[in-house]
Chains A and B, each alone.
Chain A
Amino acid sequence: MSAEPMLEAMDVVHRYGLVTALANVSLTAGRGEFLTILGSSGSGKTTLLRVISGLEMPKSVRRLRIGGVDVAGLPPSKRSCTTVFQSYALFPHMSVIENVMYGLRIRNVNREEATRAARQALAMVQLEHKGDRRIAQLSGGERQRVALARAVVTRPSILLLDEPLGALDERLRQDMQLELVQLQRSLGMTFVYITHSQEEALTMSDRVVLMSHGRIVQSGAPLDLFDRPGSRFAAEFMGYENILPGTLRGQDRGYAVVDLPGGVQVRGVAMDAASQPGAAVAVAVRAERLSPGANGPAVSNVLPATLTNKLYRGKYTDLTVATAAGSMRLRRWENTPLGETISSVTWKAEDCVVLAASDKS
């Protein structure tokens, strides 16, 4: 990644009527970076994408640059970025190849050259034999690829992808995830990818930006977001099954010490430096990081527990246990003995995070 960012959006503010869609959002992306904007519907992620592409004009923005060029106020056609729409938005009255060469033809590239470039782009998405097909004759996955080829054929600085895999079935989605990453690597193009799926965000991106209510909640490498959520919202969104309320007691050897209801003390990685001893906090740990039994290393947290429910899910088994601090969930990947009883659950201090009890908004 070079020193100058490919995308620079500073203090974007946008409102729909009285609803604030984007509240002072700033975003940068480096050359060749795969940046994912993660968030649920209504988080403002699509609005942010449309502000970048120019399809939406923000109420105010301090700086908006694409490839070093100031594009604030420019129409979409004058920006060096293209969008892969969620609905694909392929032109129904054109063939596959006509769709792909559209961006070149309107730039007055001659037909021969445009056809050659379009064929190359189609070969890249493995559709070189379907150039003469009509859009209506393609499957969902093929349409997706045509939309991709059409967007990259003009070699934009940034490719914006608006939940492009949302309409595909599970299997196809996984294949396309891999293909998209390979495509991005081979093109060396900056991708800004929108999704509500944490799985997609984690598997594909160099960096993930988590958004909620028009703000950026957290931004970092996929592993950071997965293992070190900075807030209760981030932990919930990233799929932390166990979030227990507690009271902060203090710090010990770099870990936060928390009193849980029932008089048990646990340790975890402190994510909120502002919390003082005595403050209400939340302890978050993933189901698969919990294990049954009391024997473990010295830093382990141990909580007496009784098994209340067992749910076989094929690849794994989810166990629900009752503890004095509340109900918790364990995930076991190996087969569990039938008559198993659980007297306690245990987990490592570095597998658990201590967060502020409620998010400051």
Chain B
Amino acid sequence: MTMISAASEGEAGPVSRPRLGLRQWAARTNWVLGLILLAWFVLVIVPLAVLFSFSFFETKSYFTIYRPSLNTWISLFESGRFEVTLRTLRIALTVTLIELLVAYPFALWLAKGCRSKTLRAVLIALLTIPFFLDTSSRTIIWRAILGQNGLVNSLLMQAGLTDAPVEWLLYSEVSVHFGLVVSLFPPMALPIYMAIGLIDDELIKASDDLGATPWQTFSRIVLPLSLPGVMAGVVFTLGPALAAWVEPGMLGGGFVNLLSNSIESAYTALRYPVVAALSTFVILLLLALLGAMMLVARRFGDLSSSFRVLKG
């Protein structure tokens, strides 16, 4: 609800004439908003609620027993899934952090440093290409590159740098991290690029003119004004990283068990209440992480004022 109202306000910002049109349009067609909310409720909230309620059932010899109990949740925490949870959290957070450190400078350069418009257009097009390809086919190719007889090891051995193939390149946490960082780069880089692109060049010039060093201009003007993009990037990266299934499955080779793998094995064992409980658990984890992030961001700067840049 608040998201939607904030978005429409943001869109209406810079140009004054279309704003009036948009406002009038929105006022006249309030039922459109109602319809969208209803559809969202039916398609997103209801299944989640059903999923959540399923977690209070249990299975006995492949049959779901429809009697409310906490047994599934209790077994969830007793069956040593804490280790899996911690590993999932650690990998998701590490991947998000690496992503942020790599994508932010890239987005900054793309938005403000890159002088050639053609190059910028090409790079943005390249960033969107992964959205057209299936994750599995993009991921499985790394097996051929990172494997024991893969491209990297062949090159290393031919160059005489190692005698035996480097084993940790594939089927390890390193390869899982690597696969996730590669596939989640666009969702981190694009929102940050958009947010930095919205910052008026005159603001940066004004900061220079008032005597700020490049670092001061970055930390006091560019970074705070790009925070909405960073937040969006983190949401779009952290969520998929927590729920990642293809990369840990294909590049972890069974050695890196994450919550998604547990969900999958529970699913194949027809233990739907466990699937439901685990999924709910992942969603709660994500919400808790985002909540913590909001708190940190509020500490760091008045986030709501950062969004004002959208309104010019």
Task: Check: A226 CB closer than 8 A to any chain B CB.
Answer: no
Task: Check: B93 CB closer than 8 A to any chain A CB.
Answer: no
Task: Check: A134 CB closer than 8 A to any chain B CB.
Answer: yes
Across the A-B interface, give the 4 residue pairs with the lowest CB-CB distance, nearest first. A89-B206, A89-B202, A103-B210, A76-B208
Contact status of A55 and B212, CB under 8 A, knowing A92-B308, A93-B308: no
A150 touches B305 (CB 8 A): no
| Chain B, interface residues (CB within 8 Å), range | 20 to 34
Using a CB-CB cutoff of 8 Å, which residues 99-141 of chain A contact chain B? Answer: 102-103, 106-107, 134-136
Contact status of A154 and B206, CB under 8 A, knowing A92-B308, A93-B306: no
Task: Check: B111 CB closer than 8 A to any chain A CB.
Answer: no
Task: Check: B311 CB closer than 8 A to any chain A CB.
Answer: yes
Q: Could you tell me the distance between the alpha carbons of A53 and B213 in the complex, rounded to whole angstroms?
A: 15
Known: A77-B212, A102-B207. 7 other contacts (CB 8 A): A55-B205, A55-B208, A75-B208, A93-B309, A94-B305, A102-B212, A107-B211
Task: Check: B220 CB closer than 8 A to any chain A CB.
Answer: yes
Task: Check: B225 CB closer than 8 A to any chain A CB.
Answer: yes
The residue from A93, A106, A135 contacting B210, defined by CB atoms under 8 A apart: A106
B209 touches A93 (CB 8 A): no
Mark A187-207 against chain B: 1 for CB-CB distance below 8 A, else 0.
Answer: 000000000000000000000
Contact status of A89 and B203, CB under 8 A, knowing A53-B209, A76-B208: yes
Contact status of A82 and B308, CB under 8 A, knowing A93-B302, A106-B216, A106-B220: no
Q: Could you tell me the distance between the alpha carbons of A78 and B220 in the complex, rounded to whole angstroms?
A: 18
> Could you pull out 22 A-B pairs where Cβ atoms are within 8 angstroms?
A53-B209, A54-B208, A55-B209, A76-B205, A78-B211, A82-B210, A83-B206, A85-B202, A85-B205, A85-B206, A87-B202, A89-B202, A92-B309, A93-B308, A102-B210, A103-B210, A103-B211, A106-B211, A106-B216, A134-B305, A136-B308, A150-B210
Contact status of A82 and B305, CB under 8 A, knowing A87-B202, A89-B202, A93-B225: no
Question: Chain B residues near A54 (CB, 8 Å)?
Answer: 208-209
Task: Check: A91 CB closer than 8 A to any chain B CB.
Answer: yes
Q: What's the nearest-Cβ distance from chain B to residue A137, in Å?
A: 10
Q: Could you tell me the distance between the alpha carbons of A103 and B224 in the complex, rounded to whole angstroms?
A: 17
Q: What's the nearest-Cβ distance from chain B to residue A128, in Å?
A: 21
Question: Chain A residues near B200 (CB, 8 Å)?
Answer: 87, 89
Question: Chain A residues near B205 (CB, 8 Å)?
Answer: 55, 76, 85, 89
Q: Could you tell me the distance between the alpha carbons of A93 and B309 in the complex, rounded to whole angstroms?
A: 7
Task: Check: B221 CB closer than 8 A to any chain A CB.
Answer: yes
Q: Could you tell me the distance between the alpha carbons of A94 and B221 in the complex, rounded to whole angstroms?
A: 9
| Most chain A beta-carbon contacts within 10 A, residue among B206, B301, B309, B312 | B206
Q: Could you tell me the distance between the alpha carbons of A93 and B301 in the complex, rounded to whole angstroms?
A: 9
Chain B residue at smallest Cβ distance from A56 = B205
Q: Could you tell me the distance between the alpha carbons of A69 and B10 in the complex, rounded to whole angstroms?
A: 45
Question: Chain A residues near B203 (CB, 8 Å)?
Answer: 89, 91-92
Q: What's the nearest-Cβ distance from chain A to residue B9, in Å?
A: 11
Question: Chain A residues near B216 (CB, 8 Å)?
Answer: 106
Contact status of A77 and B308, CB under 8 A, knowing A55-B205, A89-B202, A93-B225: no
Using a CB-CB cutoff of 8 Å, which residues 56-84 of chain A contact chain B? Answer: 75-78, 82-83
Chain B residue at smallest Cβ distance from A55 = B205
The residue from A87, A93, A136 contacting B224, defined by CB atoms under 8 A apart: A93
A92 touches B211 (CB 8 A): no
Mark A134-166 against chain B: 1 for CB-CB distance below 8 A, else 0.
Answer: 111000000000000011001000000000000
Question: Chain A residues near B206 (CB, 8 Å)?
Answer: 83, 85, 89-91
Chain A residue at smallest Cβ distance from B305 = A93
Question: Chain B residues near A89 (CB, 8 Å)?
Answer: 200, 202-203, 205-206
Question: Chain A residues near B209 (CB, 8 Å)?
Answer: 53-55, 76-77, 82-83
Q: Could you tell me the distance between the alpha carbons of A90 and B211 in the complex, rounded to whole angstroms?
A: 15
A106 touches B212 (CB 8 A): yes
Q: What's the nearest-Cβ distance from chain B to residue A257, in Å?
A: 53
B210 touches A154 (CB 8 A): yes
Question: Chain B residues near A150 (CB, 8 Å)?
Answer: 210
| Most chain A beta-carbon contacts within 10 A, residue among B203, B210, B225, B301 | B210
